[in-house]
Copies of this chain bind each other. A is one copy, B any other.
Amino acid sequence: NHVIVCGFGRNGRQASLELLDHGEQVVVIDSKESSIEKIRMVPELLFIQGDATLEEVLTSANILNAKALITAIPDDAANVYVCLTARELSPGIRIISRSSKLQSDNKLKRAGANNVIMPDLLGGKQMAKLVAQPDVIEFLDKILLQSIKGVKLIEVSCSNLANCFVGKSILDLNVRNVSGANIIGLKDDEGNYIYNPSPDIILDQKFQLFVLGDSEQLARLNKLLNTGKLTR
């Protein structure tokens, strides 16, 4: 039940350290001697020196028992290859890929990535918006850092949707009025992101909802979704 991190560059290293911090067991794969030296400086990390695009290397990292694989290689083509190999070996694993180009997003997803993250693009975009719309950047930072007291953006799975809501619309949930939480987006069963989902969208147990709210509001929403009932 460990996490495999492929590539120990700046992003892979940061991911590994944060995962350790959160109590995860981490197995790093990298072929470069210089990376291995850096990995050795963190005694908690397990590692394999090898090429993560090779089946035998992923197998020796025990991919069949891993809960997630992060591929953070600076070369998007290599990440695509890792995704394909990993998905073939372990159909159910969560695969998260770093991408350096916006155009790689769909390719990586078709290759098997559940999520594609673009840290460098993000930095550039942030900086570009600084002068024109700094408040938007700061607002998004604060959401991510959750530094506004109590309020979070979380994802809520609809997999336990109460029977009374099956076939009903978002409007029928009446989330904002009943719970105070705000559904600002959803990810549908095909992996598409939808902002401000229209109230007439029919709920599906495969949806992930993105909900903004404080702990109390989010608890009310979860109760509403899973039981169909709510006592204020």
Chain A residues packing against B (C-beta within 8 Å)? 3, 11, 14-15, 18-19, 21-22, 24, 67-68, 70, 94, 96, 102, 105, 114-119, 121-145, 147-148, 151, 153-155, 180-182, 184-185, 187, 193-196, 208, 210, 212-213, 217
Contact = CB atoms under 8 A, between A and B. Distances in A.
A99 to B, nearest CB: 10
B136 A210 contact: yes
The copy count of this chain in the complex is 2
A185 to B, nearest CB: 6
Contact of A18 (B21, B115, B128, B151): B128
A193 B148 contact: yes
Contacts of A121: 141, 145
A15 B117 contact: no
Q: Which of A22, A116, A193 has the most CB of B within 10 A?
A: A193
Given A139-B185, A151-B196, A182-B195, 19 more contacts: A14-B127, A15-B130, A18-B128, A19-B131, A21-B128, A24-B131, A70-B130, A102-B147, A117-B137, A117-B138, A118-B145, A119-B126, A121-B141, A136-B210, A139-B153, A140-B144, A142-B193, A181-B196, A182-B184
Nearest to A182: B196
A123 B154 CA distance: 18
